[in-house]
Structure 1
Amino acid sequence: MRLYTIGFTKKSAEKFFGLLREAGVSTLVDVRLNNVSQLSGFAKRDDLKYFLSELCGTQYTHRTDLAPTQHLLDDYKKRGAGWATYEAQFLNLMQSRHIENTVPQELLDNAVLLCSEHSAQHCHRRLVAEYLAQQWGDVSIDHLA
């Protein structure tokens, strides 16, 4: 199984959709808690669905079960919890949600996990990909930059 991740910030629409086309992903799995923010520009849910279909022939799905809770996000972004704390709490959340059993493997085969962060290093999309790779085995991860 091949699984990609991508963030949309610090990317033009041309770069973003070009990366997706080059990778040949079949499905974009939106793992953001809020996918309709005005700050998302071309990556707002309805615009993104249209652009993915028209420019890349790619399907769109939104999976909030792969997103952090608002409380967890607020602790990290607004209340200054460190990355190590956030990572540990998010890993516990994925375990408690049993995402390895509830997310169909077929959905993520040749799919890309989308979040807003430019880099996967401090983004939950990397944690989701690594967690599922560990649980499922035989998963290669490619972070599109």
Structure 2
Amino acid sequence: SYLRAALIEAGVNLPMLASDGAFLAATIDESNGTAEGMYVSAFAPSPQNVADAQWIEAYQAVEYRDPDTYSVNGYVAMQVLSEGIREADSLEMERITNALRGNAISTLLGDLRFNGNGDLTDPGIWIYQIRDSEFQQVEQ
């Protein structure tokens, strides 16, 4: 956001894409209005774009707050872990990881698959734009 502010102040008003490191309230709060229109990548979608009203209501009942961006990632991580435990019928790490590799796991983000190294086979990146001093997910 400091680079963006310096560019705007120098009269350079070009589209800018920042990494997930700029996906912070401080990017907006400390930009003196210059972050408006800037794009930011993130490793999580907006909960409102992937979850239904029932999921959001259940989340609020447990957390006593609205879900934010990384709430989806935490939920999906638990979905994956619980499915691995169920499939492995064990709490042993090796059995769980073997159960997860190569199998499709149904999650809030859709089906996820992990390769032999344990990496996602098709990781997602979401793009946000700062509009009205808020991160708004860009439709893909």
Q: TM-score, normalised by structure 1?
A: 0.26
More helix by share: 1
Larger radius of gyration between Structure 1 and Structure 2: 2
TM-score, normalised to structure 2's length? 0.27
